[in-house]
């Protein structure tokens, strides 16, 4: 292939990739495009790696987590060999690898993800990459700190044991990133709404650790934010989505913090039904939120729901994952056997 032919091939494949992404990330089309890119440009060409990234991003949620992690680890290693450290594709691949490791949740993974993402932020600052790329890494790090703060007690290999410090750091980092994105992109940009959802989770974790007046203030903030998230997603799509489901679960937990038990149960029950629409995602979370909401009124029913959540978690996560341990803990707290 002459340089002119190669350049024309790159342009054609790049245009087709943008067309596929603009049409909604069709998995079959991405697979076909990836095969063509490998055949015509080679497996390690930057465009081939970019197409492979989008393909795995699209199909990854349906894979068992260990299989998905193997795929992302291999792609990360090849990107490290064939792309500069701060190439956008390399950074996107590393971010997905870290998120997949977080999803696996095996003992030690909570610390590993924090370490990886802290290094990613430091790398971006040292290499003076665009603020938006550093912002993605900062948001991912905030999420990792929040996860460690919330679920570290279920990880027997955890090094960092100060859950309050992790939650506080996650909240501070998220608020700072929200301010930056709002000034850079405007308050209604999708990039801003992404981090606003993360802030809701950080505020909820802080509210669950607070008491008295401070807990009420934080709970009301979370409730308002969750309702904004749900309304924004409906305006954007005119249908129910995973984003709306996350907003509903956030709302249910905020209602529990505010001791509005009946409203919390109703919201959680609706969310647990709607969660069945998304078989490629963890349905156990909605069931755990519902079980906690029901527990004060009807402990036997809460135990049955928590047991169902544990079954769902065991089907979705590896044995020993902190997500499974969380469900086991609730079942045992309610008097059941896990």
Q: Residue 91: what pLDDT?
A: 96
- Spatial contact of 105 and 318, defined as CB atoms under 8 Å apart: yes
Q: What is the pLDDT of residue 25?
A: 66
pLDDT at 5: 83
Sequence-ordered list of residues with C-beta below 8 angstroms from that of 250, at least 6 positions apart, any chain: 197, 200, 201, 204, 222, 225, 226, 229
User: Could you please report the per-residue DSSP string of 93-131?
Assistant: HHHHHHHHHHHH--TTHHHHHHHHHHHHHHHHHHTT--H
CA distance 311 to 326: 12
Nearest to 143 by CA among 163, 173, 112: 173
User: In the chain, helix, strand, coil percent, each to 5?
Assistant: 80, 0, 20
Residues with Cβ within 8 Å of 228's Cβ and at least 6 positions away in sequence, in order, are 196
Q: What is the pLDDT of residue 26?
A: 74
pLDDT in tens, the chain (338 residues): 788 888 899 999 999 999 999 877 678 899 999 999 999 999 999 999 999 999 999 988 878 888 999 999 999 999 999 999 999 999 999 999 999 999 999 999 999 999 999 999 999 999 989 999 999 999 999 999 999 999 999 999 999 789 999 999 999 999 999 999 999 999 999 999 999 999 999 999 999 999 999 999 999 999 999 999 999 999 999 999 999 999 999 999 999 999 999 999 999 999 999 999 998 889 999 999 999 999 999 999 999 999 999 999 999 999 999 999 999 999 999 998 87
Domain limits, the chain: 284-338
Token pair listed for 260: 């509005």
DSSP letter string over 157-180? T-S---HHHHHHHHHHHHHHHHHH
Farthest-apart Cα atoms in the chain, separation:
73
């342009």: which residue's tokens? 11
Provide the pLDDT for residue 280.
80
Q: How far apart are CA 325 and CA 207, in angstroms?
A: 23
DSSP three-state, residue 95:
helix
List the structure tokens of 152.
């570290």
- Which DSSP letter does residue 24 get? T
């Amino acid at each position: 292939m002459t340089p002119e032919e190669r350049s024309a091939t790159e342009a054609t494949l790049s245009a087709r990739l943008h067309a596929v992404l603009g049409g909604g990330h069709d998995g079959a089309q991405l697979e076909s495009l990836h095969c063509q890119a490998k055949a015509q440009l080679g497996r390690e060409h930057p465009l081939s790696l970019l197409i492979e990234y989008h393909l795995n991003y699209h199909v990854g949620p349906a894979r068992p987590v260990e299989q998905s992690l193997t795929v992302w680890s291999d792609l990360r290693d090849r990107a490290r060999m064939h792309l500069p450290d701060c190439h956008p594709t390399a950074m996107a691949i590393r971010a997905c690898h870290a998120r997949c490791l977080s999803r696996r949740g095996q003992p030690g993974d909570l610390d590993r993800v924090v370490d990886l993402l802290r290094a990613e932020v430091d790398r971006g600052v040292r290499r003076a990459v665009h603020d938006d790329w550093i912002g993605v890494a900062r948001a991912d790090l905030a999420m990792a700190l929040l996860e460690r703060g919330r679920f570290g007690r279920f990880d027997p290999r955890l090094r960092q044991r100060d859950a309050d410090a992790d939650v506080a750091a996650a909240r501070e980092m998220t608020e700072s990133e929200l301010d930056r994105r709002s000034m850079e992109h405007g308050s209604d940009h999708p990039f801003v709404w992404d981090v606003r959802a993360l802030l809701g989770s950080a505020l909820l974790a802080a509210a669950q650790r607070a008491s008295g007046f401070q807990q009420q203030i934080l709970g009301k903030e979370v409730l308002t934010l969750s309702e904004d998230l749900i309304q924004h997603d409906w305006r954007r799509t005119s249908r129910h989505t995973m984003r709306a489901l996350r907003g509903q679960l956030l709302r249910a937990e905020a209602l529990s913090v505010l001791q509005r038990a009946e409203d919390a149960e109703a919201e959680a029950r609706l969310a647990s039904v709607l969660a069945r629409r998304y078989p490629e995602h963890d349905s156990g979370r909605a069931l755990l939120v519902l079980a906690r909401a029901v527990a004060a009124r009807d402990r036997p029913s809460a135990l049955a729901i928590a047991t169902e959540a544990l079954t769902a978690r065991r089907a979705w996560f590896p044995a020993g994952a902190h997500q499974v341990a969380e469900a086991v803990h609730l079942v045992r707290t309610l008097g059941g056997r896990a």
